[in-house]
């Protein structure tokens, strides 16, 4: 049983070649592009990938469209970002898992984040990411930092994929996270109005537990500083050396941007000057 691969792109000519090389084990690769203005489409087609284009609205909308409007060769689809690398041993684990699959609809994998030439072993690990979906069983919710809603059960595999978020430089990371923070602020402005489900903080499912922790965190005062302390001290980010310190600072900046934008949205909603 094979696996199709879905890669979302927008101007990813720097990342895409290595990404495509890492998933050559698939005979069905789809690049779902948001009308890139660089060589992304040419690179994809030259590598034998199918290219489908759609105007970007948000991440949930883009993934849902890619999962429902594209015909795939296989019933299982692996979601991949262009700045990720997926070693062949992961595919071997995937093949074994889906061959004995019962009522599993989505599989989660562990992610290794890289920065300044090293793995952020403590700062950003372990992080579970839902990536392998059975077509028709999973829909995507939330405009940013998506959530996966499934009619079946969830499975967890031990293979690690490699994430290079700074492959295009710190300036690009900051530019992208400026956009992310605007989307996150819009989403959180509505989400934090509801009741926090404290029971989810103790869930045995890592994604649900992480979501509840995030909702709790966004209700805390001095939240950016709390996030820095959590990542750098409690998660032992200091053991990741200079890369760990730099990354924790960047994360604090990102969280601060979100808080400022949430406050800006509140003031605009109430007719106050910004």
Is the pLDDT reported for residue 180 higher than 90?
A: yes
Q: Mean pLDDT throughout 227-234?
A: 95
Residue-range domain boundaries for the chain: 4-163, 170-269
Lowest model confidence (mean pLDDT) among 53-62, 183-192, 253-262: 183-192
Lowest-confidence region among 99-108, 177-186, 255-264: 99-108
**What is the average pLDDT value for the chain, to the nearest integer?**
91
Task: Provide the pLDDT for residue 100.
Answer: 84
Q: How confident is the model at residue 198 (pLDDT cuts 50, 70, 90)?
A: low
- The four Cα atoms 49, 117, 223, 271 give a dihedral, to 10 degrees, of -50
Ranking 68-72, 193-197, 208-212, 233-237 by mean pLDDT, the lowest is 193-197
**Does residue 110 contact residue 125 with C-beta atoms inside 8 Å?**
yes
**DSSP bridge pairs for 119:** 114
Nearest-angstrom CA–CA distance, 168 and 62 = 22
Q: Which strand (E) or helix (H) includes residue 43?
A: helix 40-46
Residue 220 pLDDT grade (very low, low, confident, very high; cuts 50, 70, 90): confident
% of residues, the chain, pLDDT over 70:
90
How confident is residue 222, by pLDDT bands cut at 50, 70 and 90? Answer: confident
- How confident is the model over 2-44, as pLDDT tens digits? 899 999 999 999 999 999 999 999 999 999 999 999 999 999 9
Confidence of residue 214 (pLDDT cuts 50, 70, 90): low
- Of the chain, the end-to-end C-alpha distance in Å amounts to 56
**Cβ neighbours, 10 Å, residue 28:** 16
CA dist 57 and 218 (Å) reads: 25
Please tell me the CATH code under which domain 4-163 is placed.
3.90.550.10
- Return the pLDDT at 194: 55
- Report the distance separating Cα 146 and Cα 148, nearest Å: 7
Q: What is the pLDDT of residue 233?
A: 97
Look-up of token digits 């032992």: 236
Mean pLDDT of 85-96: 93
pLDDT of residue 167: 95
Instruction: Report the distance separating Cα 186 and Cα 199, nearest Å.
Output: 25
State the pLDDT at residue 231: 95
Number of other CB atoms surrounding residue 12 within 10 Å: 25
User: What is the pairing mode between strands 84-85 and 153-163?
Assistant: antiparallel
The pLDDT, as a whole number, for residue 218 is: 67
Q: Is the peptide bond before 222 cis (omega within 30 degrees of 0)?
A: no
Report whether 38 contacts 63 (CB < 8 A): no
Other CB atoms within 10 Å distance of the CB of residue 273: 5
**Rounded CA separation 183/239 (Å):** 32
């Amino acid at each position: 049983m094979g696996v199709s691969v879905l890669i979302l792109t927008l101007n990813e000519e720097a990342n895409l070649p290595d990404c495509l090389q890492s998933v050559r084990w698939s005979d069905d690769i789809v690049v779902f592009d948001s009308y890139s203005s660089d060589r992304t489409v040419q690179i994809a087609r030259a590598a034998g990938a199918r290219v489908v284009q759609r105007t970007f609205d948000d991440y949930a909308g883009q993934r849902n469209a890619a999962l429902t409007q594209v015909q795939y060769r296989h019933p299982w689809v692996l979601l991949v970002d262009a700045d990720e690398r997926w070693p062949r041993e992961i595919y071997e684990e995937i093949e074994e898992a889906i061959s004995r699959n019962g009522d599993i609809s989505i599989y989660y994998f562990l992610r290794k984040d890289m920065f300044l030439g090293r793995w952020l072993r403590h700062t950003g690990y372990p992080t579970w990411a839902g990536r392998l979906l059975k077509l028709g069983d999973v829909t995507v919710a939330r405009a940013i930092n998506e959530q996966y809603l499934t009619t079946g059960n969830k499975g967890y595999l031990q293979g690690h994929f490699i994430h290079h978020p700074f492959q295009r430089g710190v300036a690009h990371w900051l530019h992208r996270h400026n956009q992310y923070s605007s989307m996150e602020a819009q989403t959180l402005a509505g989400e934090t109005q509801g009741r926090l489900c404290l029971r989810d903080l103790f869930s045995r499912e890592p994604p649900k537990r992480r979501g509840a922790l995030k909702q709790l965190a966004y209700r805390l005062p001095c939240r950016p500083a709390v996030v820095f302390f959590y990542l750098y001290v409690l998660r032992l980010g200091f053991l990741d050396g200079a890369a760990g310190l730099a990354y924790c600072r960047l994360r604090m900046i990102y969280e601060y941007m979100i808080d400022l934008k949430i406050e800006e949205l509140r003031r605009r909603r109430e007719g106050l000057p910004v």
